Amino acid sequence: MAKVLVVDDSKAIRLILGKTLGSLGYEVLQASNGQEALETLARESEGLELVLVDWNMPVMNGLEFVRHVRANPGYANLALMMVTTETHLDQVSTALEAGANEYVMKPFTADIIADKLRLLGCLQ
- Sketch out the chain's domains with CATH numbers: 3-120 (3.40.50.2300)
- The candidate with the shortest Cα–Cα distance to 84, out of 11, 3, 5, 13, is 13
Report how far residue 62's alpha carbon sits from residue 95's, in angstroms, rounded to the nearest whole number.
Answer: 9
Kindly report, residue by residue over 31-62, the tens digit of the pLDDT: 999 999 999 999 988 889 999 999 999 999 99
Cβ atoms within 10 Å, residue 78: 18
**Cβ neighbours for 3, distance < 8 A, ≥ 6 positions apart:** 26, 27, 28, 29, 44, 47, 48, 49
Q: Within the chain, which residues score under 70 in pLDDT? A: 124
Q: Which of 26, 33, 61 is nearest to 18 (CA)?
A: 26
pTM, two decimal places: 0.94
